[in-house]
Amino acid sequence: MRRFHVLPDSPPASSAQPGQRWVFEGSWCLNEGLPAVADLLGQASPLPASPAKIALDASAVSTWDSGFAMLLNRLILQLQGQGAQLDLSALPQGLRRLLQLAQLGQPPEPQSRAKPGAVQKLGEATLKLWADMQAFARFIGELLLAGLQSLGGRGSFRSRDFWAVVEQVGPQALGIVSLISFLVGLILAYMGAAQLALFGAQIYIADLVSIGMVREIGALMTGIVIAGRSGAAFAAQLGTMQVNEEIDAYRTAGLAPMQFLVLPRVLALLCMTPLLTIYSSVMGILAGALVVVLVFGLDATAYFHQTLEVLTLTDFWVGLLKGGVYGAMVGLSGCLRGMQCGRSAQAVGDAATSAVVTGILLIVVTASMLTIMFYKLGI
């Protein structure tokens, strides 16, 4: 049972001022619920005339925890604020030391955590966007320089690193690229069929699917898959290396992280995405064939004949170029975000997220630019 009562304290002979003894008894633990400081003060009021002499007596407390220590701490601060003179000698020794500990240490300068206004936010966002664009441009520049130096034979990444990344971004992505390209080919074929069947021109499904896949969709789907897979992986790998100071270790050993970490990754993507794009187009065209043969009862030979008839080498090169460009975009954004990563778990997560978002954004923007450009050029 918890008990609190206030006794008049007989003053020492030398002092004329009577005091109070605040007695705590029983068990004072958080689990059993603790009273508020105001309740204790209410029970003790009126306080003796200022300066009040108050002795806190917890010698009869059977069990206590840090909740009681917190309560006393608050009580003491409040009483001291009112100018009371406190006598803590009747507190258990451990408790007294705990209270002393809590009073040590200098609180820091107050931090300003004012919420910014709308205009300030807009301004900061604009500045951040500008800084981001500068960082991206600088990053591309540094990467090109690193590439040139490698070509010139001055320092180069280890070929084993390069092939490991190639394996990771190429062959290991085949499964997911197959699935997505096949399904997208299926959707394209069905969508086209619904319209073309109106005037009995189902054979032109072949035109739609093959040109669509080879020129645009194959590269686009590959780019998006790669952004989610490899872009995020690059950012997370480099971010974790940043956290573990591995990147600093490269720098201090006189090795450029650009050359050893970024270059192999971007190069691997630059090589593998065009190949994946071709693969993706083939899968889409096969899916189209399946729809045409099984659903619309056309002849497979006719479908493939029509496909070969309509596809030109230009379409092929356009798709390949787009694949390469998207791969470079994904590689750049993944590595940039990884290298910019902060030094905490949170920062690694942010880097991976930002890498995917930046990668997809760049893909979509360049896709639109390239499509318009090729249209204007008549390619």
- Helices then strands, counting H and E runs in the chain, come out as 15, 4
Q: Which is nearer to another protein, 150 or 354 (CB)?
A: 354
**Shortest reach from residue 60's CB to another protein, in Å:** 18
Alpha carbon distance 204, 309 (integer Å): 11
**Shortest reach from residue 332's CB to another protein, in Å:** 27
Alpha carbon distance 148, 152 (integer Å): 6
Q: Which is nearer to another protein, 113 or 160 (CB)?
A: 113
Is there a contact between 21 and 7 (Cβ–Cβ < 8 Å)? yes
CA distances from 104 to 23, 97, 98, 99, 101 (A): 26, 11, 10, 9, 5
DSSP 212: I
Is there a contact between 338 and 239 (Cβ–Cβ < 8 Å)? yes
| Residue 122, Cβ density class (10 Å: 0-12 exposed, 13-18 middle, ≥19 buried) | exposed
**Shortest reach from residue 35's CB to another protein, in Å:** 12
Q: Which is nearer to another protein, 9 or 65 (CB)?
A: 65
Binding site for another protein (CB under 8 A): 30-31, 33, 65-67, 69-70, 73-74, 93-95, 97-98, 101-108, 111, 113, 342-347
Q: Which is nearer to another protein, 83 or 105 (CB)?
A: 105
Is there a contact between 143 and 262 (Cβ–Cβ < 8 Å)? yes
Q: Which is nearer to another protein, 104 or 151 (CB)?
A: 104
**Shortest reach from residue 171's CB to another protein, in Å:** 30
* Main-chain phi, psi angles of 154, to 5 degrees: -95, 95
**Shortest reach from residue 68's CB to another protein, in Å:** 10
Q: Which is nearer to another protein, 15 or 106 (CB)?
A: 106
Is there a contact between 282 and 176 (Cβ–Cβ < 8 Å)? no
**Shortest reach from residue 348's CB to another protein, in Å:** 10
Alpha carbon distance 244, 153 (integer Å): 30
